[in-house]
Structure 1
Amino acid sequence: MKITFNPSGVCCRQINFEVDENNIILDAEFIGGCAGNLLGLKHLIIGQNALEVADKLNGIQCGSKSTSCPDQLSKAIRESL
């Protein structure tokens, strides 16, 4: 299943990711935001259980913001699964 999510409150403008029937993340793409950090995040989450990833990333803040790109990915996963 391919999912597109439009995050709010972060630099990233769009998060695209794909999960299989076992909720394993097959691919991820972040449009906008901190390229190096988000590329690193992509490589860390591919092959992982999406719900476990959502649990680990939930509530992470970026600077003084109440959310972050990882937190928004967590929200995207929870909303889509």
Structure 2
Amino acid sequence: MKKFTYRTKGTCSSQIELELDGNVVHNVKFTGGCDGNLKAIPKLVEGMTVEEIESRISGIHCGFKNTSCGDQLAKACRAALEQNA
């Protein structure tokens, strides 16, 4: 498993850490942001593929922002997968 760190853009959380085993995501951890939501999201996506995460949460907006922590997670997973290639 490879560990990746992603600096978020446009969200209350500032960073996402995750591990990839091939294209399967594990051990997601957010820094900052809404505590309850950012404890729930990692549990919901544990063991999902990058593609599954992208199809479910990519493009979600938070309030008037053009992104959300979920959307940033989808971007982080894609960036990690491409870096791992």
TM tier, smaller: over 0.9
Give the CA RMSD over aligned residues. Answer: 0.9
Distance 2:28 2:58 in 1: 17
Report deviation, 1:47.
1.3
Report deviation, 1:55.
2.0
Instruction: Report what 1:9 is aligned to.
Output: 10
Task: Indicate yes or no: 2:45 matched with 1:45.
Answer: yes
Report deviation, 1:78.
1.4
Structure 1, residues 35-62: CA drift from partner, whole Å, max 9, x if none?
1001100100011112211221110000
Alignment: residue pair count: 80
Report deviation, 1:2.
0.8
Structure 1, residues 3-45: CA drift from partner, whole Å, max 9, x if none?
1000010000100000112x11121100000010011001000
TM alignment of 1:54-65, pairs within 5 A? 54-65=54-65
Instruction: Report what 1:76 is aligned to.
Output: 76
Q: Is the 8 A contact 2:11 2:68 kept in 1?
A: yes
Flag structure 2 segments of 5+ consecutive residues without an equivalent.
none
TM-score, normalization: structure 1?
Answer: 0.92
Distance 1:72 1:57 in 2: 9
